[in-house]
Structure 1
Amino acid sequence: MAFSFISKRPLWQNILAAIVVSLCLVSFFLLTLNVITNHGEYLTVPEVKGRDYKIIQSDLEKKGFEVVIQDSIYIDTLPPNIIIKQFPEPEATVKVNRVIYLTINCAVPPSVGMPNLIGMTFRNALMELKSLGLKLGDTIFVPDMVKNAVKDQQIAGSTIKPGSPVRMGTSIDLVIGAGIGGEELPVPDLYGLTYPEAKLVLEINGINAGVVILDENLLDTSMGYIYWQNPMPFDAQLMPNNIHVGQLMDIRLSLEKPKAKTDSVSSVTPK
């Protein structure tokens, strides 16, 4: 039989042979393991923070490191693809083929939803912009009863609606209420004007539209005519009333154009 020679040898010889074979296998395994794991070969991790990822990647791989982008964030004051953080830290001693994890600055700024800043104080609006990675652009002050309150939010002169996607780092212009001015002017007479015409008159005089009430049969303000306003142009003694710049004026609109007034004081009463 093929294994008859084993049974013919003394037991101690078989045991010795098994030990010798086992030692040879273990030695071969350890030698192979050293080659596979590069045992005894170490590298010093270089400083790569502040350098361009696209440039440094090939250099690290040539030196025996593996490179993995662990995270990417956006900082508008740094160039794109700049390495912000690395692990292991510089000067650390590691084995060959050790992975270096990098955090880099995004090449393209991510988008965020535009917050609703209308009605916020200027300070709170500024904090909200900063928390979302947005910048403060121009500040435009307009007469308004509520001082330092945000009246509008704009990009390049156009209103930006809340929830609209905006790139981080974008400058947002804010229209801020400057309070009621000390200047007084005669109350403009809006009777008989369409709402767009009256709105233009108010804007020219630095007066803000307050409560706008529509009659039941009127669905669109642009189709309405003004038949009542508060404050009125004249008082009961037909003396001109004055209004402060930035003050509010309430108006009522009807679908039909009101009849011409017979005197300086409107005789139409609110419905």
Structure 2
Amino acid sequence: MFNSITKRSFRFNLAVVVGLFLFIGVLFFLLLGVITKHGDTLIVPDVYRKNVQEATQILEKAGFNVDVRDSIYIDSLAALAVWEQTPAKGSEVKVGRTIYLTVNKVVPPMVKMPELVGLTFRSAEMTLHSLRLNVGDTIYKPDFATNTVLQQLLNGKSVKPGRDIPEGSNITLVLSSGTGSMENPAPNLIGLTFAEAKEALSASNLNLGTVIVDPGVTDTANAYVIKQDPMRKNNLNELQMVRAGESIDLWLFPTKPTPATDSTTPPAQPE
């Protein structure tokens, strides 16, 4: 065979080689569509909010490969549910294309609780959203600083700034509704314990102002109120009026003032 090839002219052999390559090239391009499944396309099904296992089964059954690419935490979405798919639902893609999924985390990440007290409602809302926290209930309480945050609560309890809480938590905001329009006589708190005085203030929709504690006090809750400002009556023995949301300052002493005072008599105060 080698001798027969060598006996032929160089041009003939070159023409045979070129023809052979042309034949292989034409055959390759004819078979390329079959090899690459050119023209075989599928529509990507919708697996949004489906569990990742169910979504994988649906996609693989439809002729796609599946890869979980990323995870995110959405508090309103079930754990391991699909949040995003790429290519998107309804896209026309080739058979065997890989569909990348982003799924919801099982355990929410933790974030630091911010300090919201003193902020306006709008500022507090923006701060919470920036940390992927939600505004829960809003409770209004009389106070002079209208529409500012007085307290921040989680599950009904006060939550301190800097505490780690789950992302997506609902934070209840206690907001100031401003002072009331109606005036009422200042309550008489003289002779009450500090704990009793705070309850009386709360019942009257009044706030606790400055608290001055005598050095001899060892138990603040059971210390006695010996002075308040404003008093129930002024020096002219006239009732002093306060509005809901205003504050009353208290002076605390370790023993109950004597003689015991009523709502009309100013107490005897220690020097």
Alignment TM-score, normalising by the size of structure 1: 0.73
Q: Which residue of 2 aligns with 1:195?
A: 194
Map 1:172-191 onto structure 2 (within 5 A).
172-191=171-190
Q: Give the deviation of 1:157 after TM superposition.
A: 2.9
Indicate how the Cα distance of structure 1 residues 256 and 72 shifts in structure 2: closer, same or farther if over 3 A, else same: same
Task: Kindly provide the CA deviation profile for residues 119-157 of structure 1, in whole angstroms up to 9, marking residues without a partner as x.
Answer: 221111222222233332322211112111111222343
**Which deviates the most, 233-242 or 256-265?**
256-265
Task: Kindly provide the CA deviation profile for residues 134-183 of structure 1, in whole angstroms up to 9, marking residues without a partner as x.
Answer: 33232221111211111122234332333344334433222111111111
Map 1:75-90 onto structure 2 (within 5 A).
75-88=74-87
Q: Give the deviation of 1:234 after TM superposition.
A: 1.5
Q: Does 1:234 align with 2:233?
A: yes
Q: Give the deviation of 1:230 after TM superposition.
A: 0.7
Report if the CA contact (8 A) 2:257-2:267 is conserved. no
Q: Does 1:152 align with 2:148?
A: no
Which residue identity does 2:251 align to in structure 1? R
Q: Which residue of 2 aligns with 1:221?
A: 220
Q: Following the alignment from structure 1 to structure 2, what is the Cα–Cα distance between the partners of residues 219 and 151?
A: 28
Q: Which residue of 1 aligns with 2:68?
A: 69
Q: Which residue of 2 aligns with 1:40?
A: 36
Q: Give the deviation of 1:248 after TM superposition.
A: 0.5
Indicate how the Cα distance of structure 1 residues 51 and 174 shifts in structure 2: closer, same or farther if over 3 A, else same: closer
After superposition, the CA RMSD in angstroms is 3.4
Q: Secondary structure at the match of 2:53?
A: helix
Q: Which residue of 2 aligns with 1:264?
A: 265
Q: Which residue of 2 aligns with 1:162?
A: 161
Indicate how the Cα distance of structure 1 residues 51 and 259 shifts in structure 2: closer, same or farther if over 3 A, else same: closer
Q: Secondary structure at the match of 1:152?
A: strand
Q: Following the alignment from structure 2 to structure 1, what is the Cα–Cα distance between the partners of residues 94 and 188?
A: 83
Q: Which residue of 2 aligns with 1:18?
A: none
Report if the CA contact (8 A) 1:207-1:246 is conserved. yes
Report if the CA contact (8 A) 2:191-2:260 is conserved. no
Report if the CA contact (8 A) 1:144-1:180 is conserved. yes
- Structure 1 unaligned blocks of 5 or more: 1-11, 13-37
Which residue identity does 1:60 align to in structure 2? L
**Which deviates the most, 256-265 or 132-141?**
256-265
Q: Does 1:50 align with 2:51?
A: no
**Which deviates the most, 189-198 or 84-93?**
84-93
Q: Following the alignment from structure 1 to structure 2, what is the Cα–Cα distance between the partners of residues 121 and 91?
A: 45
Indicate how the Cα distance of structure 1 residues 233 and 251 shifts in structure 2: closer, same or farther if over 3 A, else same: same
Which residue identity does 2:238 align to in structure 1? M
Q: Following the alignment from structure 2 to structure 1, what is the Cα–Cα distance between the partners of residues 227 and 74?
A: 54
Q: Give the deviation of 1:220 after TM superposition.
A: 3.6
What count of residue pairs does the alignment treat as equivalent?
Answer: 241
Q: Secondary structure at the match of 2:36?
A: coil
Q: Which residue of 1 aligns with 2:242?
A: 243
Report if the CA contact (8 A) 1:238-1:265 is conserved. no
Which residue identity does 1:167 align to in structure 2? P
Q: Which residue of 1 aligns with 2:114?
A: 115
Task: Kindly provide the CA deviation profile for residues 51-83 of structure 1, in whole angstroms up to 9, marking residues without a partner as x.
Answer: 522212134345664422221113344444333
**Which deviates the most, 171-180 or 103-112?**
103-112
Which residue identity does 2:48 align to in structure 1? G
Identity of aligned residues (%): 37
Q: Which residue of 1 aligns with 2:130?
A: 131
Report if the CA contact (8 A) 2:44-2:93 is conserved. no
Q: Give the deviation of 1:267 after TM superposition.
A: 4.3
Indicate how the Cα distance of structure 1 residues 192 and 107 shifts in structure 2: closer, same or farther if over 3 A, else same: same
